Amino acid sequence: SFPEQGLCSRRRDVRTVTPWLAPIVWEGTFDPFVIDNIYKPLNITVATTVFAVGKYTRFLKAFLVTAEKHYLVGFRVQYYIFTDQPHEVPKVPLGSGRNLTTIQVSKLDRWQEISLQRMGIILKTIEEQIHKEAQYIYCLDVDMLFHSRWGAEVFGDLVAAIHPGYYKVSRENFPYERRPASQANIPLDQGDFYYGGAVFGGLAENVYRLTRTCYRNILVDKANNIEAVWQEESHLNKYFIYNKPTTLLSPEYLWDDEKPQPQEIKLIRFSTVKKNYAEVRDN
Ligand SMILES: CC(=O)N[C@H]1[C@@H](OP(=O)(O)OP(=O)(O)OC[C@H]2O[C@@H](n3ccc(=O)[nH]c3=O)[C@H](O)[C@@H]2O)O[C@H](CO)[C@H](O)[C@@H]1O
Ligand SMILES: [Mn+2]
């Protein structure tokens, strides 16, 4: 049965479409049953990359336990856990059609390097295996918990999440990389949104192109001895200026527990756990 169209609550308190007509997904803008009925029959497999290097292995258990409750429930999900300590990957019971692969990566000294190298490793893994087994891929931070539905409404060709700290901020105040010497630089009069590095995804072939471009630019920066102000997040934001995301996730999909919950955030779906940076990072 189709829901009462006229009664569907439309959000007037937030922007729900971009200037290039991509939806911005907020609670109240979609019907979960309608969306599920579109995607469930398609037999989609979703690759999900998660890095847990050094002390960040401690976040894996709660991440996976809550993902099994809320993350693309009812879909085939293939988790890829990248870690320097495979024995620290917890054995969390997974729903049917859901699997986990652990891939060993080396430990880098600086957290900035760990964060940056994700682009190169995701690129290689899409090339070597993900393209054969999954149509969609989502790349997520590990220091996060799912709190409510993170469902098929996130499917899109190229998907970005609006950073919870900047959705009410005007573009000249976005923390984009501004130094012309970096490949990630964005002039003051450009940019649409400030996207978070903790969530991006879409069709595997699109994320392949995204990681290839970002990784190349990261290598150019490295050769020029410059590191973008927010590492791969800066390069991601640059990419999305020229390759507009086709679906934007509202900050419901990338929240931060340090923030009070404002009126327009009807539910928090995925949120950064409070962490002691000095304790979990080596530098
Ligand atoms: C909400 C959001 O958009 N967060 C972004 C932000 O800060 P964050 O403070 O969220 O960065 P972070 O410390 O969570 O690091 C990003 C991710 O890298 C991995 N990791 C990092 C360090 C480490 O020692 N071991 C390890 O495994 C882990 O998966 C972690 O979730 O800026 C980072 C880059 O500067 C990334 O763009 C993050 O995605
Ligand atoms: Mn994080």
- In a domain, residue 3? The reply is no
> Is residue 150, in this structure, part of any structural domain at all?
yes
The torsion defined by the Cα of 30, 35, 37 and 40, in degrees rounded to 10, comes to -150
Q: Give the Å distance between the CA of 42 and the centre of ligand 2.
A: 32
Domain CATH code at residue 96 = 3.90.550.10
Provide the ipTM: 0.93
Environment of ion ligand 2 (residues, CB < 5 A): 141, 143
CA distance 115 to 121: 11
pTM score, two decimals?
0.96
Question: Which residues, at least 6 apart from 106, have a Cβ–Cβ distance to it below 8 Å?
Answer: 84
Instruction: Evaluate whether residue 253 is within a structural domain.
Output: yes
Cβ count within 10 A of residue 102? 15
Residue ID of nearest Cα to ligand 1 atom 36: 197
Does ligand 1 come within 6 angstroms of the Cβ of 233? yes
Specify if 56 maps to a domain. yes
In a domain, 50, yes or no: yes
Q: Does 30 fall in a domain?
A: yes
Closest to 77 measured CA to CA, from 151, 16, 25, 17 = 151
Atom of ligand 1 nearest to the CA of 118: 18
Of 116, 58, 109, nearest to 232 (Cα)? 116
Query: What's the structural domain count of the chain?
Result: 1
Residues spanned by the domain of 166? 24-171+193-204+243-280
Say if ligand 1 is within 6 A of residue 198 CB: yes
Q: Is residue 226 part of a domain?
A: no
Q: What is the pLDDT along the chain (283 residues), one digit of tens a residue?
A: 345 555 555 799 999 999 999 999 999 999 999 999 999 999 999 999 999 999 999 999 999 999 999 999 999 999 999 999 999 999 999 999 999 999 999 988 888 888 889 999 999 999 999 999 999 999 999 999 999 999 999 999 999 999 999 999 999 999 999 999 999 999 999 999 999 999 999 999 999 999 999 999 999 999 999 999 999 999 999 999 999 999 999 999 999 999 999 999 999 999 999 888 888 888 8
Distance from the alpha carbon of residue 11 to the mean position of ligand 2, in angstroms: 29
Centre of ligand 2 to C-alpha 179, Å, is: 24
